Amino acid sequence: MRHRVAGRRLSRTSQHRIAMRRNLVASLFEHETISTTIEKAKEVKAFAEKLITLAKKGTLSARRRAIAMLGDRDIIDYEDRKAVRKGTVIGKLFSEIGPRYLDRPGGYTRIIRLSLRRLGDNGRLVLMQLVGTEETSKKETKAAAKKRSRKKAKETVEVEETAEAEEAVEAEATAEGNSRQDEADRQQ
């Protein structure tokens, strides 16, 4: 009987489950979206949300607890065929992800079921994402669009002003040229 036995075994030993959970959550924080099976995603979701709640606190003890629970894996990016260290998962969690959800009381992740199945074992695939990444990108694009429209408006105003100034200068030059011509005609 499995009375009050929580969690899924996922056909793994306990050490393997813990390592898999840490790796999936670290990848989720690094990439902000991962593809996995529905069972793994459901198992990892609670762990990820606990870590984000710790990151919202932002204290030194919370950071140490997060490192103890997750480990402090480096974020590596490849530039010109060379590995470049971009920071750590805990650093990103506490500097970017935690502050993003300060006003949100919970529900930091979402699971989107895909119509795809894995070829090897026909397992259901899902996307696990952090909530709010597309909302911030939409806000950024709206803000960028506003800045662009303001910039274009300023540029058009500046172009119109310079065109008006050039027309005024040309009008003055032609007026001066005409007045000089008139004076030259009068003198002759």
Query: Of all helices (H) and strands (E), which one includes residue 35?
Result: strand 33-37
- Which fold would CATH assign to domain 14-131? 50s Ribosomal Protein L17; Chain: A, (3.90.1030)
Check: pTM over 0.75? Answer yes or no.
Answer: no
Stronger pLDDT, 184 or 74, i.e. the higher one: 74
Is the confidence at residue 94, as pLDDT, over 90? yes
**pLDDT, tens digit, for every residue of 106-132?**
999 999 999 999 999 999 999 999 998
Predicted pLDDT of residue 180: 65
DSSP alpha helices (H): ranges in the chain? Answer: 14-31, 38-57, 60-70, 89-92, 98-100, 133-187
Predicted pLDDT of residue 181: 65
Is the confidence at residue 186, as pLDDT, over 70? no
CA 25 to chain CA mean position, Å = 17
Is the confidence at residue 99, as pLDDT, over 70? yes
The closest alpha carbon to 69, from 84, 85, 86, 53, belongs to: 53
Predicted pLDDT of residue 156: 64
Contacts 24+ apart (CB under 8 A), 72-78: 73/26, 73/30, 75/30
Cβ neighbours, 10 Å, residue 22: 17
**Which of 22-26, 56-60, 87-91, 171-175 shows the lowest mean pLDDT across its residues?**
171-175
Segment 155-172 shows an average pLDDT of 71
User: CA–CA separation, 146 vs 137, rounded Å?
Assistant: 14
Segment 92-98 shows an average pLDDT of 96
Residue-averaged pLDDT of the chain: 87
- What amino acid occupies position 45? K
| pLDDT band at residue 170 under the 50/70/90 scheme | confident
